[in-house]
């Protein structure tokens, strides 16, 4: 089923979200529709050992027809390896929980972020692979439900190792996350996009 985009600034959008939380069944959601997503001139994506997100935009009718099964057929490995974890310093991102993840497709940078989660509290850490555009936009806050995010991306194997005990070192803090926290309008717009504009379909 197709829909007509109402605003000339809108694009066709295709979002894939796969989560594999501990002790819960894997959940996959595909969302297709119209919307305005910042930084979407190229694919936006993040993945680690527990989740996979890919946002794609295009500008022609019915172009958001991606039916690829990213669980059964992952994107090609790109040669970059990052640290992967999700949680706090006692559960999820304790030293024994941090594992390597081989990066896929356009996710060529290592991401590390710290913020406050409604369930895990402050000092919640996220590590994994990301596209450069994901690093410059507020999607870590939106899709991982983190407030007050400080985030940093780097290029190079295992470079996302700065977060210690749930905090970025002071020398990194001044440069980290300023792009995310300076974009409340984009954050609000993207949240509305995810909740109101798109037509969800789950598998």
List pLDDT tens digits, range 75-85: 999 999 999 99
Residue from 34, 155, 173 nearest 113 by CA: 173
Tokens 């780097």 found at: 154
**Per-residue pLDDT tens digits for 120-133:** 667 789 999 999 98
Q: Domain segments of the chain: what residues?
A: 11-202
pTM of the predicted model, to two decimals?
0.78
Q: What angle do CA 36, 14, 131 make, to 5 degrees?
A: 80
- Band (5; pLDDT cuts 50, 70, 90): very high
3-state secondary structure of 195: helix
Q: 167-176: per-residue pLDDT in tens? A: 555 555 434 4
Please check the confidence at residue 119 and state whether its pLDDT lies above 50: yes
Which tens digits make up the pLDDT trace of 49-65? Answer: 999 999 999 999 999 99
- Rounded Cα gap, residues 168 and 151, in angstroms: 9
**150, β-bridge pairs:** 114
pLDDT number for residue 133: 87
Write out the two tokens for 99.
Answer: 């594992």
Give yes or no for residue 185 having a pLDDT over 60: no
Q: What's the chain's average pLDDT?
A: 79
Three-state secondary structure string covering 29-61: EEEEEEECCCCCCCCEEEECCCEEEEEEEECCC
CB 7 within 8 A of CB 37: no
Angle at 67 between CA 1 and CA 139, to 5 degrees: 90
CATH code assigned to 11-202: 2.10.60.10
């Amino acid at each position: 089923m197709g829909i007509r985009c109402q605003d000339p600034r809108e694009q066709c959008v295709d979002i894939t979200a796969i989560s594999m939380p501990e002790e819960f069944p894997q959940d996959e959601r595909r969302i297709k529709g119209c919307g305005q997503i910042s930084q979407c001139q190229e694919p936006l994506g993040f993945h680690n050992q527990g989740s996979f997100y890919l946002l794609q935009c295009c500008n022609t009718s019915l172009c958001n027809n991606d039916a690829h099964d990213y669980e059964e057929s992952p994107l090609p490995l790109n040669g970059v390896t990052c640290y992967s974890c999700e949680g706090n310093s006692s559960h999820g991102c304790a030293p024994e929980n941090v594992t390597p993840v081989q990066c896929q497709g356009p996710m060529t940078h290592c991401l590390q972020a710290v913020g406050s989660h409604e369930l895990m509290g402050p000092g919640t850490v996220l590590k994994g692979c990301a596209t450069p555009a994901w690093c410059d936009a507020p999607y870590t806050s939106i899709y991982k439900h983190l407030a007050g995010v400080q985030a940093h991306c780097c290029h190079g194997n295992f470079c996302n190792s700065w977060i210690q005990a749930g905090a970025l070192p002071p020398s990194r803090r001044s440069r980290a996350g300023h792009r995310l926290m300076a974009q409340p309008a984009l954050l609000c717009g993207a949240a509305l996009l995810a909740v109101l504009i798109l037509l969800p379909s789950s598998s």
